[in-house]
Amino acid sequence: MNTHTIPHTSAKDTVVRQQHALQDPKWVRWSLIAIALGFITLFICLPLGLVIYQALSKGIEAYWTALTQADTLAAIRLTLLVAIVTVPLNTLFGITAAWAITRFEFKGKSFLTTLIDLPFSVSPVISGFIFVLLFGAEGWFGKLLATYDIKIIFSAPGIILATLFVTFPFVARQLIPLMQEMGHQEEEAALSLGASGWKTFYSVTLPNIKWALLYGVLLCNARAMGEFGAVSVVSGHIRGLTNTLPLNVEVNYNDYDVVGAFASASILAGLAIVTLVLKTLLEWKQASR
């Protein structure tokens, strides 16, 4: 903990000192602030406001009707299903990967670390396309799946797979730097006191990483619910069956159903706001630890 607090205070000191050294003229400061605020208004606040404005443009009743359409409800259900399956799996994966990378020495470790980042660097459309190539009708396993009548592409399993792939770095990325910095002496101490491996993880490791873990889970969940590109490729856009909320927005919009599109969008926007608030809370919690 000591190692945590000391750099903190010294960082604050340097910030204070830098403010004196970096004291720009007033007009520079004000115009920089104005530009930053202008950008945020133009590209974030305005669109967000517009989503809500458009969703309610024909009154609250129309909004409610749009939200309770069978297709929209199906989209909400599918989105929740995808999140419920992918988030726990990726949490488990993230902890496992972070543990392996920070606690063991093995050949190919740096390669694995790079590989974890792959979904971030590949375009989501390509991620989706990989699954079509693997499990689609003409794909590698297409014939095999067809003989057993298993549908992956153009159905929920494909959407879940694509989402899993796209969201898997989030938890691991949060945990690896923290666990590297923590070292493993506390765990070694617990083991030397007779604790089992599981007990050590549960009562020593987990309490130390819980805030970072929650943060990773939160980001993972936001992406799982909001993913468009990869899901779009594997879903087939079947109304009421394989449309997730982001896809539902597009489908409604293409049908000139503005209220429907923006009603779905408002749910996603609400999710984004909730995520941001929780994210800020978690960051604050992590810093005060």
Partner 1 sequence: MSIILSDISKNFGSFAALHNINLEVPEGELVALLGPSGCGKTTLLRIIAGLEHTDQGSVIINGENKTSQNVSQRGIGFVFQHYALFRHMTVFENVAFGLRVKPRHTRPSNEIIKKKVHALLDLVQLDWLHDRYPDQLSGGQRQRIALARALAVEPSVLLLDEPFGALDASVRKDLRLWLRNLHHDLNVTSIFVTHDQEEAMEVASQVVVLNHGHIEQQGSPSEIYDNPTNAFVSRFIGQTNVFDLDEHDNEWLRNVGIINANSTGRIAHVRPHDILIEKSESHQDATATLKDWQHLGALIRLELVKNDHHASKSLFAEMPKEQFKALALKIGDVVKLKIRHAHWFH
Query: Considering only CA atoms, which of 274, 289, 180 is closest in space to residue 225?
Result: 274
What is the three-class DSSP state of 90? helix
Q: Which is nearer to partner 1, 17 or 199 (CB)?
A: 199
* Cα–Cα distance measured from residue 238 to residue 289, given in angstroms and rounded to the nearest whole number: 47
Contact with partner 1 (CB under 8 A) among 68, 196, 254, 280: 196
Q: Interface with partner 1 by CB under 8 A: which range of 11-19, 74-82, 115-123, 191-199?
A: 191-199
* Cα–Cα distance measured from residue 241 to residue 80, given in angstroms and rounded to the nearest whole number: 13
Q: Interface with partner 1 by CB under 8 A: which range of 14-22, 194-202, 234-242, 252-260?
A: 194-202
Query: Considering only CA atoms, which of 178, 172, 188, 174 is closest in space to residue 208?
Result: 178
Contact with partner 1 (CB under 8 A) among 59, 199, 283, 285: 199
Contact with partner 1 (CB under 8 A) among 14, 57, 203, 254: 203
* 120 class by beta-carbon count within 10 Å (0-12 exposed, 13-18 middle, 19+ buried): exposed
Q: Is 186 in the site for partner 1 (CB under 8 A)?
A: yes
Binding pattern for the stretch 4-43 against partner 1, x by CB under 8 A and - elsewhere: xx--------------------------------------
Q: Interface with partner 1 by CB under 8 A: which range of 50-58, 113-121, 188-196, 215-223?
A: 188-196
Q: Interface with partner 1 by CB under 8 A: which range of 59-67, 125-133, 189-197, 268-276?
A: 189-197
Q: Which is nearer to partner 1, 3 or 23 (CB)?
A: 3
Q: Is 188 in the site for partner 1 (CB under 8 A)?
A: yes
176-185 CB contacts, 8 Å cutoff, 24+ apart: 176/97, 176/98, 176/101, 176/102, 176/113, 178/209, 178/212, 179/98, 179/99, 179/102, 179/103, 179/205, 179/209, 180/102, 182/208, 182/209, 184/102, 184/103
Q: Which is nearer to partner 1, 5 or 18 (CB)?
A: 5
DSSP codes of every residue in 18-39: HHHHT---HHHHHHHHHHHHHH
Q: Footprint of partner 1 on this chain (CB under 8 A)?
A: 1-2, 4-5, 185-186, 188-196, 199, 203-204, 207-208
